[in-house]
Amino acid sequence: MQVEFTAHNIRLDDGTFTKPDLGWAIHQHPWMISFKRTLSIVFPGDKSRIRIADLGCLEGGYSVEMARMGFQVLGIDVRESNLIACRHVKAHTNLPNLEFVRDDVWNLASYGRFDAILCCGLLYHLDRPRLFLELMSSVTSRLLIVQTHFATEQPNPTFPLSDLTENESAQGRWYVEYPDDQTFATRETFKWTSWDNQRSFWPKREYLLQSIQDVGFDFVAEEFDSLEKDIVGSMTNGYYKTQDRGTFIGIKTLGL
């Protein structure tokens, strides 16, 4: 396979970029800026002993930026095509605190414990999101950042979701990832779909927040600074409104 970047425009150490046609680099993306703010608040000072997992890391952009902050970062992705891109990034950045592995994220526990987990663009590709939240909590001592789509009371015309139903005691909607077994069998070639399941479940926002609390994070919040300067516009008719997608935070406050 050749190195291919579909979404992450990463600045390499020689000053070149992995996907310059995007016109902006991943360290400039509002999500990344927001992630950095949250990480800096929760982990002030020396970050060299703080271990972070980047789940479904795609081409490694978020992993690189967190490693550049000084964290110990492990990026996990199941597709070989994505790991080829990650290895290219690793080879062209001087970041000994950055590691990538090819694996199913459901095997997360085999990599030990983490201080924080970034789960960006992954949860809405799973059919058991509540169970996966439990898994992430079981190996996380402090912080969880989840960037994901969620279901709403009214159907969203942007996505072909099912009627409201219930899964894992949560209300939400199903999304078809693969229309048939033949397509599912070629899932390595589909970077923007699930891996183990042919349909995914999007819980409603309130059930997602409840689940984060239920699995062990006593501080639960949704952050909005990633919507940049026009929070009202984004939430009423912009990206947040049309995509039903947000960033959710869980923190274990350690009894503070």
Q: Mind listing the pLDDT tens digit for each residue in 87-110?
A: 999 999 999 999 999 999 999 999
The residue whose two tokens read 């902006």 is: 24
Q: What is the spatial distance between Cα 78 and Cα 65, in angstroms, rounded to a whole number?
A: 20
pLDDT in tens, 116-135: 999 999 999 999 999 999 99
The CA dihedral of 137, 142, 148, 153, to the nearest 10 degrees, is 70
Q: What is the spatial distance between Cα 83 and Cα 101, in angstroms, rounded to a whole number?
A: 7
In this prediction, residues 43-48 reach a mean pLDDT of: 97
Q: Could you state, in order of their start, the residue ranges of all structural domains in the chain?
A: 20-251
Contact 111, 53 (CB under 8 A): yes
Residue 2 has a pLDDT of 86
Architecture per CATH, 20-251? 3-Layer(aba) Sandwich (3.40)
CA 172 vs. chain centroid, Å, equals 19
How many CA atoms does the CB half-sphere of 204 hold within 13 Å?
Answer: 15
Instruction: Say if pTM beats, i.e. exceeds, 0.75.
Output: yes
Residue 1 has pLDDT above 80, yes or no: no
Give all strands (DSSP E) within the chain, no chain letters.
51-55, 72-77, 98-102, 114-120, 140-149, 165-167, 170-176, 199-203, 219-223, 245-251
Task: Determine the 3-state secondary structure of 112 from DSSP.
Answer: coil
